[in-house]
A and B are shown apart, each in its own frame.
Chain A
């Protein structure tokens, strides 16, 4: 298939960016979206032009490195997948595809479609862990955990930290990302011990970094490639309230 591409090009963080039009030809419908960009980049290199910069690594939907706002949606038109899992059979021959970076103040553009998501790491560093050191821990089966809780914790822990929730949100809120981590630990006895401190530290850091508030549009849940539920946000709000009141 042939496609017209409108791609956001921005040489560096402080330079102005703009859309540039490209065309790609004879792309197989079985190619992945990133392979289509590889083909474009190989053509650009052959022509002596600067290839389009974009983040990617595992190309199997788990590392969270790939991003891309495709035709107005984070990770493109399919639900529950990352950009690297998107295949060209989802597009029509002759279609125009618009490709932008994540747009959110806490995620500044590095170059073209690459953004800096280190704000997410800072939130985890503020409290997204259990404060134990290596060694000296009890036997793994010493504390039985209700299967239902373990499963809910796993649902939350599936977050890949890609930032689609922030990109999808009109307020650039990181509530779903933070709530997923807070929930995972709040649901498990190992994380419960310091649940109160954790939720307060992580929320404070999220606010500091300039992420916006949640106004319950659920856009984050709709665009999350791992289908993390907004019920985690409710759980976080409850945890936060309890922590503040006690």
Chain B
């Protein structure tokens, strides 16, 4: 039986990572080229890890779903990346970044991992600057910082509203350097459909060539999944269209435990839903909350008139506006963490004070900042975001407040990994959003980029090497073994089965229905009855999918409907586990809000006595209940408290 072993090194918190590196096993340079590594995904974690591992001398093969390793969804992160540099001299430190991250995560993350993340955050900024990432600078030539939610210091580095793009292009340039040298083999337009295990260890993958439809076998001594999150289980999210949970889900079905799937982040500032043909939601960076003030009308009759189109935002007098975040959380104001801001918006809209034609929106207003700083300054800071908003909504945010509403954005849950970022399948490592490790129940803004690059540049190159040290005498694996044969056959059968259904409903129609069940019952507010209902509905929908889905075409060539069908088939199962985990967790923490568990003021109410653990689920068979393994979370360096953003 697999046992959870977090492998946290001994010693004081601040020395754990240093001690680990000092005592870990290494592979000598001549032996590194005898060892093969597969990396799936070329976002920040995958791209950075692939480049760094290849620079060390390992043989690296990299796979991505897009047409180029420059396009993974890390690219869409707008606002910035945190680091504990304390350049502004405002009291930041490694400990404070660690503390804010643990607190922001509502005390559901592992101390040692988070401390390491805070520790290497500074190296990331150095690395990116050396790569030629054009971060924003002051007139004196030094780097500029801004503030993000959940922090009282300015520790966020940024490149206009395109920080994710610039960091990803940095990792892409490092990866391209290695590809150009012939040190990395790059495979584009490939999707991973299974992990191959030999003698209990991960030794390869089955991928589908999306252009030819051909299934391919690839073998290695170790496999790294950096395949992002599973937010698209909700159909509408801010994730890219191809972002999916299949790699992680296939690993789960091969024995990698899946942790805290119910910890999903709902981002407070997205453009509201506008029609049933809508394909995705667009995020407006959290950085906007630096200068934008969030409000709804104080009077319900004003809100109703706005909903009917009889009044405009600009018609509401200053004294009739309710800046509800500033009212409820005087210390953090508009910069409360994302889960808190999202729930506060939902509370106002549910109470009837929402704006827009649906009543499901609040205002984000720049009027006072424009008056204070001038339009030029606001344009320099957020010009591209304002343009993006105007193109979608057809309204000018310099003149009228933006309308925003929360949307599914990020998944804190993911494949369970130990301190070395290794899953419960030996040799299968998981980095970036795909793992569960650093953000607990809620991620702070500008911390996803930090974690992806921390895992990729500074953690995995060490920990994977530690694992590979005793693998140097293991010869390169061949792909004609029985294990590869069997794995490929299973994938082929799954494809054949989907093509053979020949039902009446498109894949998207199932995906939309899945999304609605998830959003209504497993979204921003959850309760026991709703979750139980959702699980039943999901089971029924899964059954219907396999009887009714319509996948045209064949497997011989490009077939986008087939790609989507494979992903939705996995999402239907993953959604059920998500609901199951939410039902199991009888508390509210971070992004997981159970209506039964709240304070009289409507804040999330944790139950530390019974739920201070990471829930790692083990797959037991398609119609079996998964088995829960608990990893207790032990806080030795931080006092566990009720989160408070009302006072400093």
Contact = CB atoms under 8 A, between A and B. Distances in A.
A59 B240 CA distance: 7
Interface stretch (B171-179, B297-305, B411-419, B420-428): B171-179
B129 interface: yes
Contacts of B621: none
Nearest to A31: B277
A110 interface: yes
Of the listed residues A53, A55, A56, A129, the one surrounded by the most CB atoms of chain B closer than 10 A to its CB is A129
B69 A31 contact: no
Given A58-B75, A89-B394, A147 B134 contact: no
A57 B73 contact: yes
A239 to B, nearest CB: 15
A51 B242 contact: no
Contacts of B154: none
B641 to A, nearest CB: 33
Nearest to A123: B176
A31 B275 CA distance: 8
A64 B66 CA distance: 10
A151 B211 CA distance: 39
| Size class of the contact patch on chain A | 35 or more
The main secondary structure of chain A at its interface with chain B is loop
A46 B551 CA distance: 10
Given A46-B506, A134-B174, A85 B392 contact: yes
B71 A57 contact: yes
Nearest to A114: B558
A57 B67 CA distance: 10
B55 A146 contact: no
Contact of A147 (B141, B159, B388): B141
Given A87-B394, A145-B137, A161-B68, A62 B277 contact: no
Contact of A62 (B67, B165, B506, B558): B165
A19 B2 CA distance: 57
B177 A51 contact: no
Contact of B129 (A38, A62, A157, A190): A190
Given A114-B558, A141-B87, A120 B169 contact: no
Of the listed residues B132, B277, B391, the one surrounded by the most CB atoms of chain A closer than 10 A to its CB is B132
Interface in A179-220: 184-185, 188, 190-191
A242 to B, nearest CB: 19
Contacts of B26: none
A38 B279 contact: yes
Contacts of B198: none
Contacts of A81: 391
B131 A132 contact: yes
A147 B211 CA distance: 44
A20 interface: no
A138 B130 contact: yes
Contact of A61 (B134, B142, B388, B550): B388
Given A53-B560, A137-B130, A144-B140, A59 B71 contact: no
B250 interface: no
A134 B458 contact: yes
Contact of B176 (A51, A65, A121, A184): A121
A173 interface: no
A193 B167 CA distance: 21
A51 B174 contact: no
Nearest to B169: A157
B173 A50 contact: no
B174 to A, nearest CB: 6
Nearest to B171: A134
Given A57-B71, A59-B240, A30 B275 contact: yes
Nearest to A115: B67
Contacts of A154: 134, 136, 159-160, 166
Contacts of A161: 68, 70-71
B173 A141 contact: no
A57 B242 contact: yes
A160 interface: yes
Of the listed residues A39, A121, A151, A190, the one surrounded by the most CB atoms of chain B closer than 10 A to its CB is A121
Given A38-B277, A56-B241, A128-B176, 17 more contacts: A35-B277, A38-B508, A45-B552, A59-B279, A60-B282, A62-B162, A85-B388, A87-B391, A89-B394, A125-B179, A135-B458, A140-B128, A141-B85, A141-B87, A141-B143, A144-B141, A144-B142
14 contacts: A42-B509, A45-B561, A51-B560, A60-B388, A111-B557, A125-B176, A128-B176, A129-B173, A144-B142, A147-B138, A161-B68, A161-B70, A184-B132, A184-B134
Interface of A: 12, 28, 30-32, 34-35, 38-39, 42, 45-46, 48-51, 53, 55-65, 78, 80-81, 85-87, 89, 110-111, 114, 116-118, 120-121, 124-135, 137-141, 144-147, 150-151, 153-154, 157-158, 160-161, 184-185, 188, 190-191
What 7 A-B pairs come out closest when comparing CB atoms? A144-B141, A125-B180, A129-B173, A137-B130, A154-B134, A134-B52, A153-B134
